[in-house]
Structure 1
Amino acid sequence: MRDTLIKAVMAIVATVLAAASSPSRAQDAGPALDGKGLFLKNCAACHQPTGKGIPGAFPALAGNKFVQGKNTDVATVLLKGRGGMPDFSESLSDRDIATVLTFVRSNWGNKADGLTEADVGALRTALGVDAFGDASMSNKH
C-alpha cells in the first residue's frame, strides 16, 4: 500500500512539474537546443533525466525496445500522443522532434538510428497532423 501511495505521489509531482515547465514553442525559444537540452526541458519531468522513468507511472526510455524500434512509430507518439502522453505537435517543430528523438534513441544504452527534420515532416503530413506553427496556441501541456 505504501509503495502504491509513493508511486501515486511521484506521478502527481511529475505531472505538476511537467505542467509548470510547459514546453515553449520553438520560434519563441531563442537559440536552438540540442537533443539533451530539449529532452531536459520537455521530457525529463516524466521520463526522468536518466531516461529511467517512474515505474508504474511513466515508462523508462532507457533500454526500451519501442524507443529503439521503427523510427516512425516513436515519432508518431510525439506527433499524436499515446495513452497518458500528450502530443507535442504544436509545441515542438519537426527539427526539435527529430533532435530529441535522435538523442533518446542513442543514449542510456539505446542504439537506434536518428531522425531528420524531413523524416518528421513527411510523417506529420502522412498522419494529417497540422504543420508546426499552423495550429492556434493551446495550453494542453
Structure 2
Amino acid sequence: MTYAWIKAAHIIFVIFWVAGLFMLPRYYVYHQESPAGSAEEKKWIDRERKLRNIIITPAMLLVWALGLTLAWIVGAWNEGWFHAKFALVLLLSGYHGWMIGYGKKLARGERPVSGRALRIMNEVPGIATAIIVILVIVRPF
C-alpha cells in the first residue's frame, strides 16, 4: 500500500514540475518582450520567481526524493530502462538549473537568448517527458 502512495505522489509532483518547466520559458519570452525597466517587466520578474520558488523547485526535489525511493523499493538500479530514465531526469534537472540561472539574468536586465531560442527550448520538457514515459511503461530494454 505504501508503494502505491509513493508512486502516486511521484507522478503528481512530476506533473507539477513538468508543467512549471513548460510555463517558465514562455514567461521568459513575455518578459523579454516587455520594455526594460517597466512595471510590466517587474511583474514578470515576480511571477517567474514565484513559479520557480513555490512550484518548480520544490516539485523537482520531491520528484527526486520519491523517485529514488521507488527505485530502491523495486530494485530498478540494475534495469537498462531505468539507467536511461535516470540520465534523462539528470538532463532535465540540468535544464531546470539553466532556466533558473537564465531567470536571474533576466532579472538583472540581461537578455542573452532570443525569444525564438526560448520558444524552441520550451519543447525540451515535453520531449524528455515523452521519452521517460515510454521508458517506464514500455521498458524497451
TM-score interval for Structure 1 and Structure 2 normalised by the shorter chain: 0.3 to 0.5
Tell me the TM-score normalised to structure 2 length: 0.40
Q: Which structure has the larger Rg over C-alpha atoms?
A: 2
- Report the TM-score, using the length of structure 1 for normalisation: 0.40
